[in-house]
Amino acid sequence: MSQSVMTSQENPGEGMGESPAESHAPRGDGMRGFLASSRSDWLLVAVFAAAILTMPIWLAPIGAGYPDILQKFAIFGIFALGFNILFGFSGYLSFGHAAFLGAGSYAAVWMFKLLSMNALIALAFAIVVGGVFALLIGFVSLRRSGIYFSILTLAFAQMSYNLAYSVLTPITNGETGLQVTISDPRVLDAMFGGVARRGVPELFGMELQGWPGFYFSAVLLILAFFLTLRIRNSTFGLMLFAIKSNQNRMNYTGFATRPYLLAAFVISGMYAGLAGGLLAVTDPLAGADRMQWTASGEVVLMTILGGVGTLLGPVIGAAVMKYLEQIFSSFNEGVLHRTFDFLPTGLQDFMVAITSPFVGEGWQLTLGLLFMIVVIFLPGGIMEGVRRIASRFRSGRGGASPTPAPAGGGH
């Protein structure tokens, strides 16, 4: 833990490539600081965008080159990015972020039902609902810190889950989940003579399913990534890092920390709302199990797996986790036999016998092992592994290269 605090403490000053004076610019000057980015930041965003948009090509060989899983990579990437603003930057571990994800989904589906199938309206409303929800829960939960804060958020999320599952069934349609039907009113679509389509979310006529759905999510992920980068480099981000390293010192120097924390909480709630809304856009259904505590735990795992406090880590962690859940769970013995086809029969059976507990229904075992390995050997997550390899590579070549590694995120 201390190590990750250390690295993230170094982050804001070093990763920016901006003069320290600008980082501490008064808040009235915030707009200028917001738009000005250093060259390495632009490079990072450009490389990130290219990598995300070409995922269908370079992920195809490992069986992840189909739209649904790539949509999930992008959407849960956004979710984890937002979570990281709270957990990674300020050190406040929320165990209830799934509540905002679920609230965003319900909000988006209700927009599809009542107003229009246009995804932008639904997403805007999902973000607002996620934010308002976060404001309410955050206002109460942030009166405590540490484990008490985590438990409070967990309690609120479980409460939301149970409400959505049964009590609020008229709004959430309970266990079955809220769905879009052809007979919904859709006031705006009706007003502007929108043709009654099949109940598929669209962006000005383009149906956001399959590949278009992925590229829509991917563009939003890139925007979210850029925004996170800007937040990290801003004065506000610096405040969050300061809170993480020593909140008491902040208080003694006269800073009121809670407004900053509440802002971070609301922002990450809005990210979660956006992710939840996107889930509904690419698949117009909202179910209560999106709010379950397991979903809240998932985003914590994603962030830790990828690297707490880093920029790229949460996105990578989300992708790894969704990949395990989707692909590993689908491997059955037939697939394994085909994989080890090149081996002689006896050895093939042996390999299948060894690997089969870790795939199919055993995918969670693999996830658990991976998580343990990462936490024990790479406390800074996958990003720490990347950084170690990069630094070894650089020192191996002799003179240290001055250009910062773009993939480093937290450098």
Partner 1 sequence: MAIDTTAWSRRRILKTGAALGTGLAVPHVFVRNAWSQNNQFCNNPTGGNVVLGFNVPQSGPYADEGADELRAFKLAVQHLNGEGDGGLMKTLKPSSLKGNGVLGKKVTFVTGDTQTKSDAARASAKRMIEADKAIMISGGSSSGVAVAVQSLCQDMGVIFMAGLTHSNDTTGKDKRRYGFRHFFNAYMSGQALGPVLGEEYGKDRKAYHLTADYTWGWTQEESIKNATEALGWQTVQAVRTPLGAGDFSQYLTPVLNSGADVLILNHYGGDMVNSLRQAVTQFDMKSKQVNGKDFQIVVPLFSELMAQGAGDAVKGILGTANWDWKLDNEASKVLAKSFGEAYGSPPSQAAQTCYVQTLLYANAVETAGTFYPPEVIKALEGFEFDGMGNGPTLYRAEDHQCFKDCLVVRGKENPTNQFDLMEIVKVVPRDQVTYDPSIFGGELGPADVKGCAA
Q: Point out which residues bind partner 1 (CB under 8 A).
A: 17-19, 22, 32, 35-36, 38-39, 46, 49, 53-54, 56, 63, 65-69, 72, 162, 165-166, 169, 173-177, 179, 182, 198, 200, 207, 209-212, 215, 219, 279, 283, 285, 287, 289-290, 292, 325-327, 329-330, 332, 334, 360-361, 363-364
Nearer to partner 1 by Cβ, of 72 and 97: the residue is 72
What's the min distance (Å) between Cβ of 313 and partner 1?
23
Nearer to partner 1 by Cβ, of 329 and 348: the residue is 329
Q: Is 57:65 a contact under the CB 8 Å cutoff?
A: yes
What's the min distance (Å) between Cβ of 198 and partner 1?
7
* Contact residues for 151 (Cβ-Cβ < 8 A; gap 6+): 95
What's the min distance (Å) between Cβ of 271 and partner 1?
18
Q: Is 161:99 a contact under the CB 8 Å cutoff?
A: yes
Structure tokens at 103: 């609230």
- CA nearest neighbour of 237 among 67, 397, 24, 49: 24
Nearer to partner 1 by Cβ, of 246 and 294: the residue is 294
What's the min distance (Å) between Cβ of 323 and partner 1?
11
Nearer to partner 1 by Cβ, of 183 and 345: the residue is 183
Nearer to partner 1 by Cβ, of 163 and 250: the residue is 163
* Contact residues for 168 (Cβ-Cβ < 8 A; gap 6+): none
Nearer to partner 1 by Cβ, of 19 and 345: the residue is 19
What's the min distance (Å) between Cβ of 20 and partner 1?
13
What's the min distance (Å) between Cβ of 175 and partner 1?
4
User: In 10 A of CB 63, how many CB atoms?
Assistant: 14
